[in-house]
Structure 1
Amino acid sequence: MEGTLRWAALTAVAPVAWGANYYVTRQFLPADQPLWGAALRALPAGCLLLLAARQRPRGVWWGRSAVLGVLNTSAFFVFVYVASQTLATSTASMVMALSPLALTLGAWLLLAERPSPAHLVAAAVGPAGVVLMLGGPGAQTRPAGILASVAAMLVSTAGYLLSKRWDSGPGVLSVTAWQLTCGGVVLLVLAAVTEGAPPPVGGAAVAAYAYTSLVATALAFLAWFTGLRRLSAGTVGLLGLLNPVTGVLLGLSLADERLGVPQVAGMVLVLAAVLCGRPRAAAPGGRTGKAPQARAAGRPGGLAD
């Protein structure tokens, strides 16, 4: 159980980093070139991890890397960038809190990974907290931003489920590097064709791009996909609820946003859902639920090849 909690703690790095990324993107990056913003987030992270992995795709992994790159990187990053620029930090991140329900149900239907009753309850309680937080005073509901957030949630859920389905073979480091690089190349081409020259960046923007690429992408994706291999989809999805909590707290402390009593109650429900869906004791063989382990020898924790 202690080892499982360590994997959960590692996985939690990702939603916390993503929650902070909404604020960084909204405050410090240009709003009118989302493709360049997404490309400058994905491609440096992918190249850095590719240098560390020192392995290229082989066989079916060329196609799989392209599919995962489009879903988890190209489409996802563009939608998140648009949502970050058109919604308040708290609202943008809270819409994404619906992803645990989608991930839990998707894993049940497509991967035969049946959730525990606690996960089902938590998957319902979490969105209830989201509804409370979204309905507060001053909450932004601009249609473009809401649609972008929903689209980001749907494409990332599909990508995460495919990542879990294809988790045998290469290690997490390589698979993460391949999809970020593939997705980043697609974004770079689209940005150059449709948005022209890259945006000019000053000191604050350089620091912001460094955070989005190194922390909110390279580190966060490694943590997240490691969690998908070590924990059940339901547990990983519920840990994703730390994303909106981080966004709300940053919005309150740095962006002068306000929460009323319903929003505080919603945050309490979200945190209760995370605790309710915490990983259980491992079954014989070191497995937690039906989550697969890292396959290959010589890959401690599935983090490196």
Structure 2
Amino acid sequence: MMNTRRAGTASYAGVLAITGLAPLVWGSTYAITTEFLPPDRPLFTALMRALPAGLLLLAVTRKLPQAQWIWKAGVLGVLNIGAFFPLLFLAAYRLPGGVAAVLGAAAPLISLGLASIALNDKLTTRKVLAGVIGLFGVALVVLRASAALDTLGVIAGLLGATSMASGTIMTKRWGRPEGVTPLAMTGWQLTAGGLLLLPLALLVEGMPPALDASAIGGYLYLGVIGTALAYALWFRGLAVANATSVAFLGLLSPVSAAIIGWAALGQSLAPLQVLGMGIALGGTLLGQLATAPRPAAQPTPEPVRTAA
């Protein structure tokens, strides 16, 4: 019996480890955006990240939503993609990267509140403490004393975190139709979000900019690796794991971004930032321990009575 419980725990941990690859990949978004993509085009960048990847997945899976899943896929596509992507890039353009990352790190705390309402997931002190610890760790990693605040940027960052948290919780609440793979669900949401972004990008930013080879390569990476594959892993994890456990994995993204900035862009890492990484990882781990489902208690077998 004990071996069965251990196997189940190991399997659950394996799902979380694979799901955690998604926010680790998302941590490269800032470096790709600043080094390879056209500046000041948040809507176009969000569109290029979502729609081509969504259409590619639709072509690969050959599965379209039916009946009530047409509007459900649309709602999830708006929350996870269509609203989240432009809010994320708007916050990144208007705020120092550290401030934007801290606002995004509030998503686990928002998820805890939403899960208590939508999923009847009990809100505990331990869960909230894990979220606060993770947020504090991220702040140590990315914040600078000279960081300036922009009202619109702060609002965009908080709305983006709320949109992502809402999409995570509703994805868990609705699940997915029988026979539909996480890859197909990812394609539905990316396409729905991309179709929302298409007219917005044209109306607000005008015609697409000229793209050189590095920009094309950057968009390909963001679309295929950073979006299609990463979101497929994310939604696969949501189908199996606790929604708030998955939400806490989002704290890995700013830590990944800081490490990539140090390794690839020559940015320095101060001792306080390294300490912040450890605290953020500790908050992530505590979040997993606080939100992981408890194995069901096994009934104690009654002793066999023999005839006297």
Please classify the TM superposition score into its range, dividing by the shorter chain length. Answer: 0.7 to 0.9
Structure 2 alignment gaps of length 5 or more: 1-8, 298-308
Partner of 2:303: none
Establish whether residue 187 from structure 1 lines up as the match of residue 188 from structure 2. no
Partner of 2:92: 84
Return the TM-score normalized by structure 1. Answer: 0.85
- What is the aligned residue count? 285
1:6-63 deviation digits (Å, cap 9, x = unpaired): 1111111111111111221122212232221111110111011112221111111111
Partner of 1:13: 21
Tell me, in whole angstroms, the C-alpha distance in 2 between the residues paired with 1:136 and 1:264. Answer: 14
The DSSP-based 3-state class of the residue aligned with 1:277 is helix
1:146-167 deviation digits (Å, cap 9, x = unpaired): 3322221111111111111110
Establish whether residue 94 from structure 1 lines up as the match of residue 74 from structure 2. no
Using the aligned pairs only, state the percent identity. 35
**Are the structure 2 counterparts of residues 202 and 135 from structure 1 closer, same or farther at C-alpha, using a change threshold of 3 Å?**
closer
1:274 pairs, out of 271, 276, 284, with 284
Tell me, in whole angstroms, the C-alpha distance in 2 between the residues paired with 1:266 and 1:182. Answer: 37
Query: Mean Cα displacement is larger for which, 230-239 or 110-119?
Result: 110-119
Tell me, in whole angstroms, the C-alpha distance in 2 between the residues paired with 1:91 and 1:207. Answer: 28
Bigger Rg over Cα: 2
Tell me, in whole angstroms, the C-alpha distance in 2 between the residues paired with 1:18 and 1:243. Answer: 6
Partner of 1:239: 249
Q: Give the deviation of 1:227 after TM superposition.
A: 1.4
Name the Cα RMSD after superposition. Answer: 2.3
Partner of 1:202: 212
Tell me, in whole angstroms, the C-alpha distance in 2 between the residues paired with 1:210 and 1:120. Answer: 38
Structure 1 alignment gaps of length 5 or more: 286-305
Cα contact 1:49–1:174 (8 A) shared by 2 = yes
Q: Give the deviation of 1:260 after TM superposition.
A: 4.1
2:230 pairs, out of 205, 213, 220, with 220
**Are the structure 2 counterparts of residues 262 and 147 from structure 1 closer, same or farther at C-alpha, using a change threshold of 3 Å?**
farther
**Are the structure 2 counterparts of residues 255 and 137 from structure 1 closer, same or farther at C-alpha, using a change threshold of 3 Å?**
farther
**Are the structure 2 counterparts of residues 257 and 143 from structure 1 closer, same or farther at C-alpha, using a change threshold of 3 Å?**
farther
Q: Residue type matched to 2:117 in 1?
A: L
Query: Mean Cα displacement is larger for which, 158-167 or 115-124?
Result: 115-124
Tell me, in whole angstroms, the C-alpha distance in 1 between the residues paired with 2:227 and 2:123. Answer: 28
1:45 pairs, out of 26, 42, 53, with 53
Partner of 2:295: 283
Q: Residue type matched to 2:171 in 1?
A: S
Cα contact 2:101–2:138 (8 A) shared by 1 = no
The DSSP-based 3-state class of the residue aligned with 2:105 is helix
Tell me, in whole angstroms, the C-alpha distance in 1 between the residues paired with 2:148 and 2:232. Answer: 32
